[in-house]
Structure 1
């Protein structure tokens, strides 16, 4: 198991775009992306959620979490000039970031009519299909 730690949480965007939370099923669009820090053993996971109805967008939440991979484990991911971050490790980063987004959304919507909007379970294995190869 690759050792890592979360070293940063950043709220990139939060907006409630409607005055009322309609009593209908909401659509949720999800984006997950990763960036690699050239100067170290760091990966950032970016997630964005857009909640909408057929008529309008209601809420947007975008965050990123930064992760630092333990130096010894990072060396195992390097082969010459190439670094390969395994799909399974990216999935761990995504799961941690989505969980963090749930907490942020709960806090940001507390005492509003949007507090009942949730980020449902997400199978990140369906979204993240490959290793991340850098170099």
Structure 2
């Protein structure tokens, strides 16, 4: 699951807050490759995590557009930005 929250603010006051969660399924063979050798943690590679974040941000853009359709808020967009700057290393989950 990837959660993304985005806030639009004016004078430090939010006027749009949107948060979504996207759930992804990982093939069992691929999931096995994420397990560490000592089986006490799962390591999600940085590139894969970045790809999931990119998909989630794209989905967030679509949700924002759909939820604000036919309102004055529909003119606000989430700009493009370098998603690779959000995730700096592999993500490790201890189990």
Would the TM-score normalized by the shorter structure come out above 0.5?
yes
* Structure with the largest fraction of helix: 2
Counterpart-to-counterpart distance in 2, 1:56 and 1:134: 35
Segments of 4+ in structure 1 off by > 4 A?
A: none
**Which residue of the partner structure matches residue 91 of structure 1?**
50
| TM-score, length-scaled by structure 2 | 0.90
| TM-score, length-scaled by structure 1 | 0.65
* Structure with the largest fraction of strand: 1
Shift of 1:104: 0.6
Q: Flag structure 1 segments of 5+ consecutive residues without an equivalent.
A: 1-43
Among 30, 45, 49, the alignment partner of 2:2 is 45
Q: Give SS of 1:68's match.
A: coil
Using CA pairs below 8 Å that are at least 6 residues apart, which structure has the higher relative contact order? 2
**Which residue of the partner structure matches residue 84 of structure 2?**
125
Across the two proteins, how many residue pairs are aligned to each other? 92
Q: Flag structure 2 segments of 5+ consecutive residues without an equivalent.
A: none
Q: Give SS of 1:58's match.
A: strand
Counterpart-to-counterpart distance in 2, 1:131 and 1:61: 26
Counterpart-to-counterpart distance in 2, 1:46 and 1:55: 23
User: CA offsets per residue over residues 19-42 of structure 1, 9 Å max, x none?
Assistant: xxxxxxxxxxxxxxxxxxxxxxxx
Alignment of 1:13-24 (within 5 A): none
Counterpart-to-counterpart distance in 2, 1:95 and 1:55: 27
Among 13, 30, 40, the alignment partner of 1:56 is 13
